[in-house]
Amino acid sequence: MAHGISLRLIRLAGSFTPFSNWLRQVYAIPPQPVDVFGLSFPNPIGLAAGYDKDGLGWRGLACLGFGHIEVGTVTLQPQPGNPRPRLFRLPDELALINRMGFPGRGAEFVARQLSGRRPGNTILGVNLGKNKDTPLEEAERDYIKLLRCFAGLADYAVVNVSSPNTLGLRRLQRRQALAALLGSIERRRQEEAIRMPILVKLAPDLTDEELEDALDAIQSNKMDGVVATNTTTDRHGLRSSLASETGGLSGEPLRQRSTQIVRQISRLTGGKLPIIGVGGVMSAAHFQEKLDAGASLVQIYTGLVYKGPGLVRQILTEY
């Protein structure tokens, strides 16, 4: 409920020009441009997918200083997601657990929200997922249709095969399944001359061998980068009474593991595959940690929940 209220308020702020101009002044950040996978980002901090699933508040969120906004996860057809309660705050651990299950109003609705005015020079990404009732063997159909839908509306797309909250989805990260999926996506991209960069979002729970297999599939099928990482199902070290809740864990307990995955990806690819690092970033030190591990860009989500709307400005003025 709190999230829904805040999203509605920031949507109003983005649609009311005097207020959006005021927000831009309050959260103004000197440009710190970064060129990655053919795009020029005004600064290296973005908003991770999951915060604005339906693209309702992205224009207002862009006023908070983000260099890019990633909306979604978007599914082809509307779906309600998993039963409630499905989002839990663990304030003592600076963490969240969610088992949302890709709730949303579907691709056509989100496409309408992304059409029209683009605030400033913000880069816009869209995170793509399959519907819950789409069989794994038909998942490529959903992803390809989604890619078509958002070509020309978004600046880049992310193939999400790593959410723990859609049954079986993570099996698409396995080498053979991922290679087949990405091969189909790349062939369609070439056939239809879709210029949009395509990234793949990976889980933090992959073994070393699974990560190497996934990266081989990503590179051999000419994907443009990776987002590392999604939420984790690991609960090691959690003290909260909510630790037994199923779903994906984000925030401070994920930070070190996500940074480790970023470092492994950078090492395994020789630093040649662009990485968006995400997981537990709540300060300038955490941001620098991701960059030092090999990330070109960094995203926040849970940090915004706990640290507030000034976090982007704080990080970029302190690091």
Which of 216, 196, 197 is closest to 206 using CA atoms? 216
Please spell the DSSP secondary structure of 298-311, one letter per residue. EEESHHHHHH-TTH
Q: Is 157 exposed, middle or buried (0-12, 13-18, 19+ CB in 10 A)?
A: buried
Outline where DSSP puts E strands in 102-222: 123-128, 156-160, 198-202
What whole-number distance in Å separates Cα of residue 227 and Cα of residue 163? Answer: 12
Q: Is 181 exposed, middle or buried (0-12, 13-18, 19+ CB in 10 A)?
A: buried
User: Which helix (H) or strand (E) segment is 108 a member of?
Assistant: helix 107-114
Locate 194 and state its tokens: 């879709």
Q: Is 92 helix (H, G, I), strand (E, B) or coil?
A: helix
Contact 1, 120 (CB under 8 A): no
Catalytic residue flag (residue 163): yes
What whole-number distance in Å separates Cα of residue 281 and Cα of residue 249? Answer: 14
Residues 6+ apart with CB under 8 A from 276: 46, 199, 225, 226, 227, 228, 295, 296, 297, 298, 299
* 115: phi then psi, degrees, rounded to nearest 5: -75, 155
Contact 123, 156 (CB under 8 A): yes
Please spell the DSSP secondary structure of 235-277, one letter per residue. -TT--SGGGGS-SEEEEHHHHHHHHHHHHHHHHHTTT-S-EEE
Given the residues 163, 258, 266, 296, select the one marked as catalytic: 163
What whole-number distance in Å separates Cα of residue 125 and Cα of residue 74? Answer: 11
Catalytically annotated residues? 163
